[in-house]
Structure 1
């Protein structure tokens, strides 16, 4: 069977054949060849070689399982909860990313540059009014041509790697940096995130409730805080099935990075 697969691979090299077509051809050859193992197992059992027969039969069952998975993957749009390939991929460290994932678009915030070890992710809560401001701001950024929609120049394979970690990849991956953003502390003791296309058109986009794993009020008592960046994500995106990437639509939201410095 492996000799036949090698011959198929060799002759397909003379043609421009996409990976899915090759996968279908390999699956057809494997689906036929795997039954030879069942015949070998039968012959061993018939000759009283039960140990070897059980081993060959086990190999047949294992390879048949993967052949069925390949049939589902290459010839249908169905999936199965018994698919262990994602777990195997995770144990092996996952596939290598495509070269175009090595460098994400460089974003330089207008609020200054901070050392990565002094920056933590903030947790934002937005009510209905603040969410409306975020949605309006996203539309404004689109109209101004400031929001990309090319999935960070990532191909399907690279997009799948992002989806495996985040469930979805958005068209403006890895996010759109706001032209203007600021953080203000209110008399009620809340920390508001302001943002917009400029300072005059800034709106309240959400409340900073956590800095890393620390409540914001507690963090403010021990550290000086500043916004390192505010990104807007969401909208059109992709989710993955075994055979293709499906279009999805999600609400826009903001992601913030907060720089901190211990008070003296």
Structure 2
């Protein structure tokens, strides 16, 4: 049984798969192996080998705990109430130096120039907006990125990271590394009310503005209710996502992706 699982494990090593998916496959393999270990423990105790059987059963129960943690981490958005992983990591010496270096490089190199296009607002008056982008609006976002790149405002170079550094960062965080970095703020953006929708118009300047998405929610409130009760102002519009690299078996894998538009909205009471 363990030989079969080992063969599957080695076979996965020859295939470039998204790191999260690969970990999910490893968890499934681990569950199968642990079930077999539990079966062996029970059979040993049935045959009178109590000490050996109990040791196997103890290992089986410990592995169940870690499997549950991994299932929660890789298959859901939940967290375990009693997670001993940080303590175990600290006991074993903390994160590897390579992982810490990759995270530090990512923080230093992923920052794109910040352009306060729409002014400075009090942080207490800002709420994140949920933005939905149609295919036509997605095309407009791509055009804006191309214009920003042509104007040398944005560089789609993964923050200047080498493939080795990208590989280290992707392995350390389990996340993709984007060519655009953590995002770029669009130089010009504004809200327009069109057909009962709050549409975000953005571009490299006011003359070249295009619709890039429409707001669905402001914070947790439906945009129609928010617009009825408050005056809404677009504080910032940021483009994230796009071309990305993930960790493969021996090298990074580059793949195209859609851009996302994220926005923050300032508000004030209509009666003020």
Q: Kindly tell me: are residues 182 and 135 of structure 1, through their superposed partners in 2, closer, same or farther at Cα, counting changes over 3 Å?
A: same
- Partner secondary structure for residue 262 of structure 2: strand
1:183 alignment counterpart = 191
Quote the Cα distance in structure 1 between the aligned partners of 2:173 and 2:183: 13
Task: Give the superposition deviation at 1:243.
Answer: 6.4
- 2:56 equivalent to 1:57: yes
Out of 204, 207, 210, the position equivalent to 1:197 is 204
> For each residue in 1:177-216, what CA deviation from the matched residue of structure 2 results, as whole angstroms up to 9, or x when unmatched?
1111111223x32211111111111112222222122221
Q: Structure 1 residues 240 and 62, CA, compared in 2 at 3 Å: closer, same or farther?
A: farther
| In structure 2, C-alpha distance between the alignment counterparts of 1:184 and 1:129, rounded to whole Å | 17
User: Residue by residue, what CA displacement relative to the aligned partner does 1:38-88 show, whole Å, maximum 9, x if unpaired?
Assistant: xxxxxxx8xx994432244347779999xxxxxxxxxxxxxxxx8965757
SS of the residue aligned with 1:146? coil
Report the TM-score, using the length of structure 2 for normalisation.
0.59
Q: Which residue of 1 aligns with 2:154?
A: 147
Q: 1:136 maps to which residue?
A: 143
Q: Which residue of 2 aligns with 1:224?
A: 231
Unaligned runs of 5+ in 1: 1-44, 66-81
**SS of alignment partner, residue 242 of structure 2:** strand
- Secondary structure of 2:117's partner? coil
CA contact (8 A) 1:234 1:249 kept: no
The alpha carbon displacement at 1:255 in A equals 1.5
Q: Do 1:162 and 1:169's aligned partners in 2 also have CA atoms closer than 8 Å?
A: no
1:225 CA drift (Å): 1.4
1:233 maps to which residue? 240
State whether residues 167 and 246 of structure 2, in contact with CA within 8 Å, keep that contact through their aligned partners in structure 1: no
SS in 2 for 1:226: strand
State the structure with more CA Rg: 1
When structure 1 is superposed on structure 2, of 224-233 and 100-109 the one drifting more is 100-109
Establish whether residue 174 from structure 1 lines up as the match of residue 182 from structure 2: yes
Q: How many residue pairs get matched?
A: 202
Runs of 5+ consecutive residues of structure 2 not aligned to the other structure: 1-43
Specify the SS of the correspondent of 2:241: strand
Q: Structure 1 residues 159, 145: closer, same or farther in 2, change over 3 A?
A: farther
Report the TM-score, using the length of structure 1 for normalisation: 0.60
C-alpha distance 194-156 of structure 1, shift in aligned 2 (>3 A)? same
CA RMSD, 1 decimal:
4.0
